[in-house]
Amino acid sequence: MKQTVKWLAAALIALGLNQAVGADSVPNLQETLQAAEQGSAKAQFYLGVMYEGGQGVRQDYTKAVQWFRKAAEQGDAKAQYNLGVAYDNGQGVRQDYAQAVQWYRRAAEQRDAEAQYNLGVAYAQGQGVRQADKQAVHWYRKAAEQGHAQAQFNLGLMYGVGKGVRQDYAQAVQWFYKAAEQGHAKAQYNLGGMYYDGQGTRQDYSQASEWYHKAAEQGHAEAQYNLGVMYTQGQGVRQNLVIAKEWYGKACDNGSQQGCDNYREFNQAGY
C-alpha cells in the first residue's frame, strides 16, 4: 500500500495570472459613452469593460484597450490593471510583458491587490522584468495582506521552499491557513500535509484529515488519495476500508495513478 504523498511533492508554485476585472452591472451605453468622451475615468473604464466582454456592444478588444488606456492615464487603478492584463495576453494590443509590468506596477502602487499579485508573478517568472524572488515575495505579501487567496497560497509556498525568504514552515502554515479558510483547495491540501508531517505546527492527524477532506470535496486528486490512505490506516479518522476505496476511486477519476493502483488493489481484495 502506498503511503501519503508529501505536500511539497505536489506544491509547485501557482503562477497563473489573474484576468481582467469587470463591472458589477452593465451601465447604459449612450450615457456611458457620453460621460467617457467628456473625460470621466470611471465611464472610460466601464466602456472598456463593455467592449472587452461584449456587454451591450459588439466585443472589440482593441476598443477595450483604447478606453482602458484613457482611464489608466487618468490614474484609474482598475483600468491600469486591465490594461496590464491586455498587454500580458496580447488581447487588443501586441503582447508586451514589459508594458504589462509597467501598468501592473502603477495599479499595485495604488494598492490594487490583483495587480500586486500579478506583479509578484511577473517577478517570480522573470517575465517583463528581471527575475527576483525577493520582489515576488514583496508583492505577494502586499496582496496577501489584503486577503488575496492566491497570493496567500503563493506566499506560503515561498516560505515552504525558502524562495525569496528564509525557509519558515510556521509562516508557510500561517499563509496556507489564510488561503485555505477562503476555500483555496491547494492551500487546504498543503495545510493537511503540514499537519500530517508536523511541519511548522504540531503533528495532528485529525486536522490533517479535516483539511484533506475540504480539498478532496473540491476534486483535488492528491487530497482524495491521501484521505483514502488515512481511512486505510485509521489516522485521524476511524478506519474504514470501504470509504478508503471510495476516495481512491475519486482520486483515480481525477488523474491520480496512485489512486487507481490502490483502488485496483482493493477490488482484488474484495472490498
DSSP string of 121-189? HHHHHTSSS---HHHHHHHHHHHHTTT-HHHHHHHHHHHHHTSSS---HHHHHHHHHHHHHTT-HHHHH
pLDDT at residue number 9: 35
What pLDDT, on the 0 to 100 scale, is given for residue 28?
84
Render pLDDT for 49-62 as a digit per residue (tens, 0 to 9).
999 999 999 999 99
- State percent of the chain over pLDDT 90: 87
Counting beta carbons within 10 angstroms of the beta carbon of residue 42, is it exposed (0 to 12), middle (13 to 18) or buried (19 or more)?
A: middle
Predicted confidence (pLDDT) per residue in 118-142, tens digit: 999 999 999 999 999 999 999 999 9
CA distance 70 to 39: 8
Euclidean distance between the first and the last CA atom of the chain, given in angstroms as a whole number: 14
Say which range, 13-17, 60-64, 122-126, 172-176, has the weakest mean pLDDT: 13-17
Model pTM above 0.85: yes
| Residue 192, H or E segment | helix 185-197
pLDDT band at 11 (very low <50, low <70, confident <90, very high): very low
Let me know the angle formed at the C-alpha of 86 by 180 and 63, rounded to the nearest 5 degrees: 135
Q: How confident is the model at residue 271 (pLDDT cuts 50, 70, 90)?
A: confident
Sign of the Cα torsion 83, 60, 25, 218 reads: negative
The answer to whether residue 164 scores a pLDDT higher than 90 is yes
